[in-house]
Structure 1
Amino acid sequence: MMAVALLYRYADFVKLLGGTEFHLGWIVGVGIAGSVATRLLIGSWIDRFGSRPLWIGSLLLFAVTCLAHLAVTTYNGPAVYLLHILFYSSVAGINGAAVTFVSHCGPEKKIAEMIGMWGTSGFIGAVLGTQLGDLLFSGAAGIERPEIVEMFVYAAALSLLTIPLAWTATRSEKHAALLPWLRKITRERLSRRAAPASCLCDEEEAADSRDRLATCPTGQPSMWAILRQHNPGVVLAVGVAMGIGLGLPPTFLRPFAAGLGIPRIGVFFLVYSITAVVTRVLTRQWVERYGTRLVMLISLSGLAASVMLFLLVDSEWMLIIPAIGFGCSHAVLFPTVVAAGSGVFPAENRGVATLLMLATWDVGRLVGAPLAGGVLRLARVTGLPPYPTMYVVTSLMLGAVCVWYAVGVFFPKRIPTVEREGELELSPAHRPPLPALDEREPAPAAIASNVQAG
């Protein structure tokens, strides 16, 4: 997280290349599209092979992507978009592997608390990363190439230093191993090639063998089948709204502060992180006490109000005001949304569930970054104050999702019932399916005969 936070000054890199906030929004939005695709593709993969391969591979990709940015010379070429796709794909892999690993470290009712406590380390990394960024750019009169180079090189170095830590953390992970599965496939194929023609199996056996080789080591259904069977519902919309709101500071805080003549943004993320850590410790049992629905509604409402607090900022120290609101909202909302969505899925599909909820966060940023850049550009064209307009529009969007979710919570749809002989029963369209014949309980007569036979 420290390396990611160091790159919160990515807006300075785009500005150095000649771009504006509009271009920044589209670069970030296109890059996050890669993150969404990555999360959806790697969910079942993590369930099969564990977090370690993805975690370490994503850290390597992150480092390579940071160093490749040093060769980019224009803000509107395909290179910057492709590298940003790879960058966010690596971040998605790192976070997905880490969150999935943590979610397996405790019982289901403790998922929110486990993810919340793990996220505390991310806040500490955000503080250190932004402070390092302010230190790198403190001596420059403007945006200079050497500071940009140092930013990317330091981020790559931090990623590489994390690999031994990830390897050590996952040494006791219990998942279906990738190498034994590959060895099994290789042995079967070699034995088939070495067998004489008379010993070859018939077409039906060959088809069964191919199906066996194509089956995942854990025998799990495909990711899309899992998603069709388990649907978190409106929680997905809350995750998208969370991504829109919480995605604003990492992308647009730096140009917003620069427009006000504020050279440093570290104070915002310092207060943000401290507030989040304290709030997360104080509220770690809220989900167990009050339930995910009420906690999500309160925290999403607080996020909508926190966005409006940016309208009060006119100096560096006043960044503390929205930072407190964002820290409280983030600390409560993020683990609650992930836990609410993941709880719908069975434990063996926890990787798909976790990455699906993180994908909603990415979809929010995918929508929010280009939208915010477009609002800023349109506001300048129409003569409106750019950033106040953008913050008001974003807050209204989050408020609309709050109202929608509140209606679903307090006024749920009633399941139709039919009255028969003074009793209420579910209507035929809403009755659960009958179990298979072999799964039904035996009739009393059959039980009696079995007892007598015994």
Structure 2
Amino acid sequence: MNSAVVTAEERSTVPQIAYGREFWLAYFANTALIVCNSSLFRYFDFVSFLGGDEYNLGLITGFGMAGAVLMRFVQGAMIDRFGTRVVWLGSLGLLICALLGHFAVGRIDGPEIYGLRLCYMVGLAGAFGSSITAISLKAPKGRATELIGVLGSSGFIGLGIGPLVGDIIFAGSGTIESKIQMMFVVALFASCVSIALTFLATRGDRPQVSRNHPSLWKLIREYHPGWMLVMSFAMGVGVLFPQIFLRSYAKEVGITNLSSFFLVYAITAFSFRLMTRKLPERIGVKNAATIGILILATSLVLYLFVRNPWLLPIPAFIGGMAHALIFPAIIGGGSVAFPKKYRGTGTNLMLVMLDSGGLVGQPVIGALIAGSRKMDLPAYPITFVAIGLLLATIALLNQRFAKPVVAREEDSPDLEDRAMCVNESL
């Protein structure tokens, strides 16, 4: 049986198949992973239960994002050396351990919650990066962004399920502590489903023989996609905002249920992703990325008009359109600048910049909200406008100064091969 999820070393011997059994196993494994993550969108309730506020939320989530950023460099090299299966399953195992550890957390000011959030984010980052790399390696020539986009649509399904389950849990009877524990139980169950499907999806993969790997700096200097890195950072700031801070904003304006937002967001993003899956290849990833970030900036400003649950679908609809367009354009378009044998490093570099947007953005946004309140200023309106202007400025600078990304579909002689040639000649 041909494996649809392969290592970089196997790419020359396994036929390239766009969609197959293993692809769909990976698809639903990714769906379960996003259900796990999106069911924790009420993480603010957990922080609040422990006595924290938005500032603590920003610090905790930002610390976790820092771990994901640092580990992505290691994970990318590990994928290139040992294949996606090892990193994928190992990352999910770490994520499950982190979720179990949350049941023992009892205070907001201890190191436990920071360490567990870090492990959770490292596991999430590794599993997500491995799935994208696996599909990118299997994509037929010229269709990498399409397949990454279709794989990403699984996330929108998970995004619609997780918050809905969260609303059902928190709308029921029982103490807040029991509801929070049930939230983590749901996340734990979804992560177990994900690791089981991942095991099946990668069952046919052969271990990759360890090989010399050029330094990260040499790879980035040789193949980096330029402004696309900055665009990935901007996407991280904007896309991660509702996942972390929407709950606290909704609570401030008196909205208790978030499922309408995420259902509209997920349905819009899923539909728009399928309709535009080939658009980046038609109009160019640069243009698609610019348009998507401008739409994302617009969605943030639209939160200003949300004062009741019936208005939540407005920014959800616009934000879903933006998310559907920018992820395959930016992550897929940037990662294909790297040869396939280093696609793990390329994919994780783009995801590093995405996570860096959250790493920088979440603590800054949390501090901006808390600081504005202390000065009796409209905290969230200031935040929405400031972040929207930042994203719009980055998008316009990208359109003005960025150069088109050159896709490397084949493994032409690269850094390692040239180094070997030099050694042989000596």
Query: Fold match, TM over 0.5?
Result: yes
Q: What is the match of residue 296 of structure 2?
A: 303
The answer to whether the 8 A contact 2:227-2:402 is kept is: no
The answer to whether the 8 A contact 2:95-2:123 is kept is: yes
The answer to whether the 8 A contact 1:108-1:343 is kept is: no
The answer to whether the 8 A contact 1:11-1:254 is kept is: yes
Once residues 152 and 403 of structure 2 are traced to their aligned partners in structure 1, the CA distance between those partners, rounded to angstroms, is: 30
Give the aligned length: 375
Once residues 36 and 289 of structure 1 are traced to their aligned partners in structure 2, the CA distance between those partners, rounded to angstroms, is: 31
Q: 1:316 corresponds to which letter in structure 2?
A: P
Q: Deviations over 1:374-401 (max 9, x none)?
A: 1101211222111111111110111121
1:253–1:221 Cα change, 3 Å: same
1:337 aligns with 2:370: no
1:9 aligns with 2:42: yes
- 1:114 is matched with which residue: 117, 122, 147? 147
Alignment of 1:247-326 (within 5 A): 247-326=240-319
Q: CA deviation at 1:284?
A: 1.1
Alignment of 1:130-279 (within 5 A): 130-140=163-173, 144-173=176-205, 176-177=208-209, 217-279=210-272
Q: What is the match of residue 415 of structure 2?
A: none
Q: CA deviation at 1:90?
A: 0.6
The TM-score, its normalising length taken from structure 2, stands at: 0.85
Q: 1:20 corresponds to which letter in structure 2?
A: D
Once residues 172 and 254 of structure 2 are traced to their aligned partners in structure 1, the CA distance between those partners, rounded to angstroms, is: 16
Once residues 208 and 172 of structure 2 are traced to their aligned partners in structure 1, the CA distance between those partners, rounded to angstroms, is: 51
Q: CA deviation at 1:409?
A: 4.2
Q: What is the match of residue 381 of structure 2?
A: 388
Q: CA deviation at 1:410?
A: 8.8
List gaps (5 residues or longer) in structure 1. 178-216, 412-434, 440-454
Q: CA deviation at 1:322?
A: 0.3
- 1:92 is matched with which residue: 115, 125, 134? 125
Once residues 402 and 92 of structure 2 are traced to their aligned partners in structure 1, the CA distance between those partners, rounded to angstroms, is: 40
Q: CA deviation at 1:89?
A: 0.4
Runs of 4+ in 1 over 6 A off after TM superposition: none
**Is the partner of 2:338 in helix, strand or coil?**
coil
Once residues 306 and 157 of structure 1 are traced to their aligned partners in structure 2, the CA distance between those partners, rounded to angstroms, is: 32
Task: Please give the root-mean-square deviation of Cα atoms over the aligned residues, in Å.
Answer: 1.9
Once residues 283 and 368 of structure 2 are traced to their aligned partners in structure 1, the CA distance between those partners, rounded to angstroms, is: 37
Q: What is the match of residue 39 of structure 1?
A: 72
The answer to whether the 8 A contact 1:268-1:323 is kept is: yes
The answer to whether the 8 A contact 2:226-2:402 is kept is: no
1:347–1:369 Cα change, 3 Å: same
**Is the partner of 1:37 in helix, strand or coil?**
helix
Q: What is the match of residue 56 of structure 1?
A: 89
The answer to whether the 8 A contact 1:245-1:398 is kept is: yes
Q: 1:44 corresponds to which letter in structure 2?
A: A
Q: 1:25 corresponds to which letter in structure 2?
A: G
- 2:395 is matched with which residue: 384, 398, 402? 402
The answer to whether the 8 A contact 1:4-1:155 is kept is: yes
List gaps (5 residues or longer) in structure 2. 1-33, 405-417
Q: CA deviation at 1:139?
A: 1.7
Q: CA deviation at 1:338?
A: 1.0
The answer to whether the 8 A contact 1:342-1:353 is kept is: yes
Q: CA deviation at 1:372?
A: 0.7
Once residues 165 and 382 of structure 1 are traced to their aligned partners in structure 2, the CA distance between those partners, rounded to angstroms, is: 50
Q: CA deviation at 1:174?
A: 5.0
The answer to whether the 8 A contact 2:170-2:179 is kept is: yes
Q: CA deviation at 1:108?
A: 4.4
1:347 aligns with 2:348: no
The TM-score, its normalising length taken from structure 1, stands at: 0.80
Once residues 281 and 394 of structure 2 are traced to their aligned partners in structure 1, the CA distance between those partners, rounded to angstroms, is: 24
1:25 aligns with 2:58: yes
Once residues 311 and 11 of structure 1 are traced to their aligned partners in structure 2, the CA distance between those partners, rounded to angstroms, is: 21
- 2:109 is matched with which residue: 44, 53, 76? 76
Once residues 290 and 208 of structure 2 are traced to their aligned partners in structure 1, the CA distance between those partners, rounded to angstroms, is: 38
